[in-house]
Structure formats: C-alpha cells, structure tokens
Amino acid sequence: MDNEDGIYVSTDRLVALEGRARNLTFEQKARSHQQLAGRMQSSLRGRGLMFEELRNYLPGDDIRSIDWRVTARTDRPVVRVYSEEKERPALIVVDQRVNMFFGSRLSMKSVTAAEAAMLCAWRILGSGDRVGGFVFNDTEIEEVKPHRSRNAVIAFADKIVRQNRSLTADGASSPATGQLDAVLTKVANIAHHDHLIIIITDFEGHTAATRDTLLRLVDGNDIICILVYDPFMLELPKSGDIVVSGGTLQAELALRRADIRNAIDRFARDRGRELQGWQRELGLPMLPVSSAEETAPQLRRLLEQSAWRQRRR
C-alpha cells in the first residue's frame, strides 16, 4: 500500500466519494402492528407530509383520509395516516485515534472510518439536510457545525484528513483514556432530540459511561453505530510469531501457541458479544464494516439490510 492507498486519505479522495454516496440508501421497512401497514421510509427526510401507515377507521377520523381502494379490497373502512416531516440535522462522529491506525489487508481502520464518514456526509447533504460532526483523536476533538453546503462537508473532510495524516506507528502507545466518552458527551450536549447521529469507531476504550451516553442519545434521536474492525483478530494464523506495535511499545505474539491464540480470540469475541448486547438492549444498529474490504459496497449492503427503525415523531 502506498501513502494514498489504504494508509492515509486525502481531501481529494474524500471529495471524490460524493458520486459513490448517491447509491447509498437509508431506507428501511418500518415495523407496524397493523396488518395492512407497510412503507419504505427514508431516515434522511425532506420536508412535507410523510405516509405513516394504513389502519382501520376509528370514530372521529376525517372521512377524507379513507383509502377507498383498500377499503374495497378488505370490505372494511381503512384510513391513510400521515405525519409532518421535520428537518433533521445530522452529526457524524469519526474516530481517528491511534487504535484506528491498524490494518492487515486493504486499509487502515482509520481510512475505512474516514471513507464511511464522508459517504454518509455526502448522502445526507444530497438529501437536503444539514450535516456536521466531530473528528477526534487521542489529544483533540474538532467540531464542524451542521450546514447544508458542500463547503461545510469539504471542511469536515479537511479536519478528518488532518487528523488522519497525523497518525504514525511511533505515536502514542495506547488510545487516550476517556476520549470516546468525551466526544459522545459533547454530542449529547448538542443533540437533545431530532438528530441523526452516526458514530464511526472501533469502540476501543468503551466503558459503562459509553453505554449510558448512548442510552441518553437514543432517547429522542436516531443513531447508527458503524463498528470498524480488522478481520485479523477473528482469523488468527495458527503458526509463527508476529510483532505488533501500539506506538513506542512492541510486543511479540507467539501465535504458534494455542493458549495465546485462544486468549486473543476469546477477547475479540467477548468484546463483539458485548457490543451486540448493546445493540439489542439500546435498540440501535451496530453495523460492522471491515477494513479488509472496500467501504462503499459494505456500507450500502449493511444499510439496506439493517433492522434499525426510525422513530416516529
């Protein structure tokens, strides 16, 4: 991998993702208890009236809302329910800490996170909504306030690139403690309700406070977590030794030993189960994106298949 291919990103490269973002969809069939209900609804909404569902006529309903075709088919009065759409700003949180500066195949996790962030940003802007966010590393958190303009998205890309290119193998020896919680707290202080929040990280250093802040954010906002990972931890070689570096420190892993492989495998899988538990408990999607594959096709597939549901307001 050369300097521009998988290790670092450039503003030009992130801006060029605008065309690929047009193929992304944030639509998902919403669940309903009504037998006749069913819709495809975009989480990146415009303004106007949004179709909610079909339901049985109730005393007091406006007869103008009756869907006569469905009524004729079902032999009972059915009404179409609409709700007013609201403009909703989006905040994208992008992790560029030293723990993201790792990749065993195609790209560094930091590169995958940057690409995923910009694909989402371009898609949101293309839908007509305001977009901004936070970029954070081990020492700083930078904010771009939500705007509906290409210049704002490009400014967001510039901040991602600056932090991305500051990552080095001889940098900090471990991710800064509490930095993930710090940036999520900043988001929670801004996004009290009616925001779309996309969090792109490997969740290294997550704590009970992380879960509590996510719970606070879920109450009134729509959240998508994009979990960036490298498959190396899930597909450890069964022979040989490797040297890994977290910056100034290095460690040799004797992968030829079954107990070492099993300990690493157990750690990775336990962490995965914990995050999956958060997904079930908090009702938010945790979309796994691999740094070993191209970002855009993965993101498109995961967004189409995800079972997350937009809140009704």
pLDDT higher than 70, residue 45? no
Q: How far is it, in rounded angstroms, from Cα 310 to Cα 185?
A: 22
What pLDDT score does 159 carry? 98
What pLDDT score does 57 carry? 85
Tokens of 62: 């406006």
pLDDT higher than 70, residue 242? no
Q: Are 166 and 172 in contact (CB under 8 A)?
A: no
Q: How far is it, in rounded angstroms, from Cα 310 to Cα 219?
A: 12
pTM score, whole prediction: 0.72
- In terms of Cβ atoms closer than 10 Å to its own Cβ (0-12, 13-18, 19+), residue 191 is buried
Q: List the domain boundaries for the chain.
A: 10-23+87-305, 27-85
What pLDDT score does 291 carry? 93
pLDDT higher than 70, residue 238? no
Using alpha carbons only, how large is the chain's radius of gyration in Å? 22
Region 88-98: mean pLDDT is 95
E-strand spans in the chain? Answer: 27-29, 40-42, 48-56, 78-85, 90-95, 131-136, 141-147, 196-201, 222-229, 241-245, 250-254, 286-290
Q: How far is it, in rounded angstroms, from Cα 281 to Cα 164?
A: 33
Higher pLDDT, 18 or 260: 18
Within the chain, how many helices (H) and strands (E) appear?
A: 9, 12
Q: What is the DSSP letter of 110?
A: H
What single-letter amino acid sits at 116?
A
What pLDDT score does 191 carry? 94
Higher pLDDT, 91 or 271: 91
What pLDDT score does 5 carry? 76
The number of beta carbons lying within 10 Å of the beta carbon of residue 295 is 25
Q: How far is it, in rounded angstroms, from Cα 60 to Cα 313?
A: 21
Q: DSSP assignment of 208-223, as one string?
A: HHHHHHHHHHHTTSEE
Q: What is the mean pLDDT of the chain?
A: 79
Which among 73, 50, 74, 55 has a CA at the least distance from the CA of 65? 55
Q: Which of 70-79, 83-92, 110-119, 269-278 has the lowest mean pLDDT?
A: 269-278
Architecture per CATH, 10-23+87-305: 3-Layer(aba) Sandwich (3.40)
pLDDT higher than 80, residue 46? no
What single-letter amino acid sits at 84?
E
Percent of the chain residues topping a pLDDT of 90: 44
Q: DSSP assignment of 12-79, as one string?
A: HHHHTTHHHHTT---EEEPP-SSTT---EEESS--SEEEEEEEEE--TT--GGGB-HHHHHHHTS-EE
Tokens of 176: 């800064």
The number of beta carbons lying within 10 Å of the beta carbon of residue 161 is 21
Length of the chain: 313
pLDDT higher than 80, residue 247? no
